[in-house]
Structure 1
Amino acid sequence: MTDMSGFSDEALAVFAFAAYHQLTSGQMVKSVVQQDGSGHKASDKAVEELQSRGFVEADGEAIHFTASGEKALQSFISGIRGGLNT
């Protein structure tokens, strides 16, 4: 599992958003919207944090998970599922 310790809540929220979409659609998520033009926007701090760790690349409109980011997202989802068994 990917070590998610030390991430800010804002960075974890990016993973939570992606996890929500993956869990509800049943399809692997490789990117999420960074800014939708309707007032919903990922934290700049979170994007910078995730970029600095090599988990995402962002272009202002979308946050694209790198291979490491995809692995971290799957680990995050596994953690959610594992937490349901406690």
Structure 2
Amino acid sequence: MEQIVSFLVENPLYLAGAVVIAVIILLVTLKKLLRLAIVVAAVFILYVAYLYLTGSDASQSVLALESFFREGIRFVAEYLKNLGN
């Protein structure tokens, strides 16, 4: 690993190429994650619509999802807070 870092530091052209490749990989990954989030949201909306049309209680599903996201955000915030220590 040390050899790779020293090679990139000594050759700025390769460093620029590595940065461009890393940015492209990051953007492609974010695009796929966004697409996945949109699909999951659409499926959840269809599920809530199904529950509503069948007369079931859709509010429990929405509350469960809200609780899930609150816990997830709390976990990420705690992780990021501890990351700096």
Which structure has the highest strand share of the two?
A: 1
In our comparison, the structure showing a higher alpha carbon Rg is: 2
Which structure has the highest helix share of the two?
A: 2
Query: Is TM-score (shorter-chain normalized) higher than 0.5?
Result: no
